[in-house]
Amino acid sequence: MIRRPRKPLVSARDVIRDAAKPMEPATRRAFLKQAAGLGTLTLLTGCDVVDSASAENALMTMSRFNDRVQAFLFNPHKLAPEYPRAMIVKPFPFNAFYSADKAPAVDAAGYRLELAGKITDRTPWALDRLYAEPQVTQITRHICVEGWSAIGTWTGIRFSDFLTKIGADLNAPYIAFRCADGYSTSIDMPTALHPQTQLTLMIDGEVLPRIYGFPMKLRMPTKLGFKNPKHITAIEVTDTYPGGYWEDMGYNWFSGL
């Protein structure tokens, strides 16, 4: 039996005040203004979260609210730490929703990166064209929610360069990724445009081995590991919230660091 609390457990005012507490005064003022401006206050005060049987719904509201708070706090110019070569972990840990022997073997010759949604030039990309783009390298830390982290070095195309090149609508809020193993995830546009967000073709100076996401993954040192899709087959720029494999099971969508 579900017991209904008499008093609301959480009030919208407390939630917003709590979220604003750790911020510097200027950020805090801007945040509170934005929270009101977005209609968040009205939205949440309308239903003092816990009066209904639908705790699920309330949790979802909170979770989407947290995403907004996190997105607001994300600094698009702040760089994640980079490390010396000596700190690179070898072999790099493997992780997926299956064991390493099940990682998909994508055929290099037949591979075409599909582009969809709010993009001017949706011509699919073959691998040689991706390899021909200017490449950058980063040595950063990958952090998995399952409780491990490791420093690695990844090389690929700066994602903001790629998005500009294909004529992506940079005002669209979401970018969704589909993968050869059925995995999916999606990210916010400010993170997509972050200078360290990389369309990765190599790890440790060699073409991405099968288990690390051949032929291509997205590397973001500003987000948790599960937000970094391997074996990408399609990229879509969209106005509609796309969710993702773990996100649909309740992992926090923003999951920024």
Ligand X SMILES: Nc1nc2c(c(=O)[nH]1)N[C@H]1C(S)=C(S)[C@@H](COP(=O)(O)O)O[C@H]1N2
- The residues that touch Mo ion, with contacts defined as CB under 5 A, are 144, 225-226
Size of the residue set binding ligand X (CB under 6 A): 17
Does the footprint of ligand X cover residue 241 (CB under 6 A)? no
Does the footprint of ligand X cover residue 96 (CB under 6 A)? yes
In the DSSP assignment, the letter for residue 210 is G
Closest residue to ligand X using C-beta atoms: 225
> What residues form DSSP beta bridges with 219?
198
Shortest Å, Cβ 138 to ligand X: 14
Which three-class secondary structure state does DSSP give residue 62? helix
Burial of 32 (0-12, 13-18, 19+ CB in 10 A): middle
Binding mask 60-89 for ligand X (x = CB under 6 A): ------------------------------
96 binds, among Mo ion, ligand X, none (CB under 5 to 8 A by kind): ligand X
Residue 234 to residue 122: CA distance in whole angstroms: 11
Side-chain-facing half-sphere of 48: CA atoms under 13 Å: 10
Stretch that binds ligand X, among 24-32, 40-48, 93-101, 118-126 (CB under 6 A): 93-101
Residue 84 to residue 190: CA distance in whole angstroms: 27
Query: Which residues form the interface with ligand X (CB under 6 A)?
Result: 92-97, 144, 179, 181, 183, 212, 225-226, 228-231
